Amino acid sequence: MIARPEGGPRVVVGVDDSAGARCALSWAIGEARLRRLPLLVVHAAPLPPHVSAAGQLGCGITEALRGSGAELIAGLLTEVCDGPPDGVRMTALALVGEPGATLVRLAGDDDILVVGHGTRGPFSRLLRPSVRLHCARRARATLVCVRPPAFDTLLEHLTARDEEPEHVPGSRFRRLGRRLRLPL
């Protein structure tokens, strides 16, 4: 368990390389700023099945997974808020383990646990279980699931920024979004 400053609550956010994780990280940074809580950014990479089956834990795989997790966290922080967030005490952890179990273990009773809401199909869920559902079933902390914005919402924000008359809600960009129905 990671030591908490002053023993109080904190915001714990689980990240990976997905749109939902980017939105969850952004929301968690804002919540930590608003409530003046420390932020714990966690990336947990599952150990590949062939490594755990062969018992090859000493061959540098765990260090490589931690290193790639640290690079991922640094890249996400740069993408979301141009580096470490201002005005927030932040700790970043890159761990090896099942993501859902790791997040549940790290988040205490008085913490806020933030995860992204992904859009995966049933076959993908068979191969890799849902971290969000695991946390919802087992976490003692307050759980917040952040859904990435829909394609139509993104188009509304893009068209609202431009004041020209051809960019109204019924514009060709809006119709394209309705026709495509692309999940982000």
Can you give 110-153 as a three-state secondary structure string? Answer: CCEEEEECCCCCHHHHHHCCCHHHHHHHHCCCEEEEECCCCHHH
In this prediction the pTM is 0.75
Please report, as a single letter, which amino acid is at residue 121.
G
Give the pLDDT confidence score for residue 172 in this predicted structure: 47
For residue 44, how many C-alpha atoms fall within 13 Å in the half-sphere facing its CB?
Answer: 17
Give the pLDDT confidence score for residue 91 in this predicted structure: 96
32-54 average pLDDT score? 86
Give the pLDDT confidence score for residue 8 in this predicted structure: 82
Those residues with Cβ within 8 angstroms of residue 9's Cβ, 6 or more apart along the chain or in another chain = 37, 108, 110, 111, 112
More confident residue, 9 or 122: 9
**What average pLDDT does the chain have?**
81
Give the pLDDT confidence score for residue 125 in this predicted structure: 66
